[in-house]
Structures are given as C-alpha cells and as structure tokens.
Amino acid sequence: MGRFSFVPEQASTFAPGVDHLLYFLLAVSVFFTLLIFGAIFYFAIRYRRRSDRELPHPPHSGLTLEIVWTVIPFGLTMVMFTWGAKIFFSESRPPDDAMQVYVVGKQWMWKLEHMEGKREINELHIPLGRPVKLTMTSEDVIHSFFVPAFRTKEDVVPGKYSVTWFQPTKTGKYHLFCAEYCGTNHSHMIGWVYVMEPGDYANWLRGGQQGGSLAEAGAKLFQDLACSNCHHADNSGRCPSLVGVFGSSVKLAGGGTVTADEAYLRESILQPNAKIVAGYQPVMPTFQGLVTEEGVLQLVEYIKSLGTKPAAPASGGPR
C-alpha cells in the first residue's frame, strides 16, 4: 500500500499533460461551485423577506449580463474541448518508431507478446524512454487496458484491433488494471508493467525461454495451416502473393481499395470473403475458430515480415 496521493505517480510523457488538464477542470469546477453557492447564501440573506407586506420587485433583464454569462461558459468549454481533444489525438497516434507489443485480453488475464517472440502473462516489461505501441484485441468480451501511472486507458474489444501507445519516463513497477467489468474475476485481471533501463531490458529479452520471434512462429503457422499451398510468393498460386502486401493499397473485386493494415489482414484470415482481392475467386476458407487471436497476430507479423509497401516506385505515392 503506497501513500495516498491525489493522482497516481507520473511515469509517462502523457502524465503531466493529462494532470494539468485535470487540475484545470477541477479549478474551474471549484471556482464556479464556490461562486454559485456563495451567491445563493449571500442573496438568501441579503434579499430575504423582512415583513409580510413586502412585495418583490419585478426582475429586470439586461442584455449585457445575458451575453456575459453565455460567452464566458462557451469560451471555457471550448478551451476544455480543444485541450482534451489535443491530448486524445496524441494518445491515439503512435509515432512511427514505436516499439510494437501485442496484447490479447481474455477472461481473466492479459497475454502480451513481444516482436522478438517473448510472451508474458499479466506482466509487461518495456525499456525506458522508448515509445511503445500496443495492438490489442480480446478473445471473449470487452476488457480495458489501464495503466494509471501512464494515464493510458484503452478498450480491448473482441473482433477488432485497438491501438494505444505511451512512452515511459521513469523506471519502476506500475499497476496494470482491467478497467472494464468483464465477469466474475474482473478484479483479478490485474498485473504489472516493469519499466527497465534499456540494457536491463535487452538482457531480459534474451533470457528465459528461447522461442522464435512472432514472425517466425507465424511462418510455422502459415505452413501448418497450409496457407502456403495457395499463397505463393511468386503469385503463381490461386491466391494473391503476400509479399509486400502489408501497408500497400489493395484493389478489391467490385471496385474500391483498402489499405492492408493489421485490421485488414486479421479480417482476411477470419472472414476471407469480406473483401475479395480483384482478380481472385473467393476460395479461401475461414479460419475463425481454427486459429487463436495469438495465432492471428503471429500470422500478421509473418505477413508484415514479408516486406512492407511493394517496390514500385513508378506507381503509388506515399500512403
């Protein structure tokens, strides 16, 4: 049990900004609460009825007063809105150089996977000072990944990927909570985030079980599930080649294009007929139920490892 403090420890680059906004909201609320209650008590006494024969004066309105008490709250709410939106957008847009970690929530645990293949349950080890991007999904119901010290909270939703990021500023051990009621053991769906010196992190990453990287696990799964029978690298198969597909713009049958991001790859594995690539038949079976969310992540990483945007300098501008 730590000492009680008004806000949790600040351990990410977001924390001071979020706290300043909180203090501002609090200050505005306290100021107006005191002003309003003060006025109520003052007027109640100052203008109380002193005798039975006393008649109230009819109220007279003033345009200036109306404008003042409209414009000031409007200005204040706009400040709150802009300030909050700014923080919201910066929290939802991970920088390009962020380190990738995958998160799968299930009743009632957090499963975390590093790119290098290291897996953790209810613990996340990360290096100090590097932005960390979390790509998250759930195997069952909605959970919410909450690290108070980082001021990071993002819902983890079945059937889609949600993304958040943070950059730790202090080594230490920080609470990880599930912040969305998810059943009987919701309160046990907790863990720790360990922020380590980069050197210690590298050691930690090397230690322990020697599994292959996520992409390597994905490559094996790609063979085991016989994806390789159809998806040939040289485009000679019945299905599109997956080399260089990640990040590219894919033309769809029936017109339209889609950017091949993580969500698109996931959908194509689980619901292959949702978006058919132009020039191909809907021959791929669904892998829903055959492959876990972790397996999907491994496959996605494997496909990413086959290269990003195709090397076609003649066509295709920046994403």
Nearest distance, CB of residue 162 and ligand CUA, angstroms: 14
Is residue 189 at the binding interface for ligand CUA, with CB under 6 A as the rule? yes
Q: Cα–Cα distance between 79 and 17 in angstroms, integer? A: 14
Q: Which listed residue (181, 253, 259, 285) binds ligand CUA by CB under 6 A?
A: 181
Q: What angle do CA 6, 124, 287 make, to 5 degrees?
A: 125
Nearest distance, CB of residue 182 and ligand CUA, angstroms: 3
- Of 156 and 303, nearer to ligand CUA (C-beta) is 156
- Of 190 and 205, nearer to ligand CUA (C-beta) is 190
Nearest distance, CB of residue 159 and ligand CUA, angstroms: 16
- Of 101 and 214, nearer to ligand CUA (C-beta) is 101
Strands 191-196 and 123-127: parallel
25 Cβ partners below 8 Å, 6+ apart? 80
Binding mask 143-162 for ligand CUA (x = CB under 6 A): x-------------------
Is residue 140 at the binding interface for ligand CUA, with CB under 6 A as the rule? no
CB atoms within 10 A of CB 55: 6
Per CB under 6 A, which of residues 97..116 are in contact with ligand CUA? 105, 108
Cβ proximity of 139 and 296 under 8 Å: no
Cβ proximity of 111 and 103 under 8 Å: yes
Q: Cα–Cα distance between 300 and 264 in angstroms, integer? A: 10
Using the rule CB under 6 A, give the single segment among 176-184, 215-223, 237-245, 263-271 that binds ligand CUA: 176-184
Binding mask 51-90 for ligand CUA (x = CB under 6 A): ----------------------------------------
Virtual torsion, Cα 32, 37, 43, 46, nearest 10 deg: -120
Q: Cα–Cα distance between 12 and 169 in angstroms, integer? A: 5
Is residue 186 at the binding interface for ligand CUA, with CB under 6 A as the rule? yes
- DSSP E strand boundaries for 162-254: 162-166, 172-178, 191-196, 249-251
Is residue 175 at the binding interface for ligand CUA, with CB under 6 A as the rule? no
Nearest distance, CB of residue 122 and ligand CUA, angstroms: 11
- Of 142 and 276, nearer to ligand CUA (C-beta) is 142
Query: What number of chain residues touch ligand CUA (CB under 6 A)?
Result: 9
**Could you say which DSSP state residue 255 is in?**
S
- Of 122 and 241, nearer to ligand CUA (C-beta) is 122
Residues making up the chain, counted from first to last: 319
Is residue 31 at the binding interface for ligand CUA, with CB under 6 A as the rule? no
Q: Which listed residue (113, 180, 293, 301) binds ligand CUA by CB under 6 A?
A: 180
- Of 38 and 159, nearer to ligand CUA (C-beta) is 159
Dig out the tokens for 195 from the structure: 């922020």
Is residue 182 at the binding interface for ligand CUA, with CB under 6 A as the rule? yes
Quickly list H helices, the chain.
15-46, 63-92, 198-206, 214-224, 262-270, 293-305
Nearest distance, CB of residue 108 and ligand CUA, angstroms: 6
CB atoms within 10 A of CB 178: 25
Residues that bind ligand CUA (CB under 6 A): 105, 108, 143, 178, 180-182, 186, 189
